[in-house]
């Protein structure tokens, strides 16, 4: 049998970098003039994989999201790894919004990705293994084609390609 090549499609987020981005964003919020005297804050909950944003009003909440996303981009983290919830009223007139940190490929998204790979009609096998997808083929060119195809898709989760052999 000819040797087969493979790679894994994963969606991982480096939580140390997330922690650094949140700390930098909080530092900027404390130093910005338009946030002086406000009770705005960003709280990272590592165990729950969530970030909670608190602000005085809608405008400040939007500014906090902008600051956080800019810090994510500077740290090399994908903004797609943040899945925002609905803003809600909190205590004392504050606004609260929760952002879930995407880690792993959900089952329904994995099935969709495998279906799209199979629709290309290349001689590759794609299989779901937990929260990642393994793609195997005899031709490395087919694997490169799959990677380029997936990079071109506008999926709402960050994808990385690992274990290329």
Model pLDDT for residues 37-53, shown as the tens digit of each residue: 888 899 999 899 999 99
Do 15-101 and 5-12+104-162 fall under one CATH topology? yes
At residue 20, the pLDDT reads 94
At residue 2, the pLDDT reads 55
Distance CA 124, CA 136 (A): 6
Distance CA 100, CA 156 (A): 13
Is pLDDT of 55 > 80? yes
User: What residue segments make up the domains of the chain, in order of their start?
Assistant: 5-12+104-162, 15-101
Cβ–Cβ under 8 Å, residues 144 and 133:
no
Tell me which residue has tokens 């005899």: 138
Percentage of residues of the chain with pLDDT beyond 70? 99
Q: At what angle do helices 58-74 and 15-31 cross, to 10 degrees?
A: 130
Is pLDDT of 1 > 80? no
Report which of 91, 2, 88, 75 is spatially closest to residue 39, judged by C-alpha positions: 91
Cβ–Cβ under 8 Å, residues 26 and 41:
yes
Domain 5-12+104-162 = CATH 3.30.70.860: yes
Please state the φ and ψ torsions of residue 57, each to the nearest 5 degrees: -150, 180
101-153 pLDDT, tens digit each: 988 888 888 899 999 888 888 888 888 888 889 999 888 888 888 888 888 88
Fold of 15-101: Alpha-Beta Plaits (3.30.70)
Distance CA 61, CA 66 (A): 9
Please state the φ and ψ torsions of residue 73, each to the nearest 5 degrees: -65, -40
Mean confidence (pLDDT) of the chain: 89
């Amino acid at each position: 049998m000819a040797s087969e090549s493979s790679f894994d499609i994963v969606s991982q987020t480096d939580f140390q970098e997330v922690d650094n981005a949140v700390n930098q964003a909080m530092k900027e919020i404390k130093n910005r003039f338009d946030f002086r005297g406000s009770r705005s804050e960003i709280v990272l909950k590592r165990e729950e994989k969530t970030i909670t944003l608190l602000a005085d009003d809608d405008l400040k909440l939007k500014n906090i999201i902008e600051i956080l996303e800019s810090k994510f981009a500077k740290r090399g983290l994908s903004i797609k790894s943040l899945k925002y919830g609905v803003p809600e009223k909190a205590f004392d007139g504050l606004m609260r919004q929760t952002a879930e940190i995407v880690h792993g490929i959900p089952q329904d998204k994995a099935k969709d990705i495998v279906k799209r790979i199979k629709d290309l009609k290349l001689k590759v096998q794609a299989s779901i293994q937990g929260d990642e997808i393994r793609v195997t083929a005899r031709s490395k060119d087919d694997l490169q084609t799959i990677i380029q195809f997936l990079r071109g898709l506008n999926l709402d989760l960050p994808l990385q390609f690992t274990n290329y052999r």
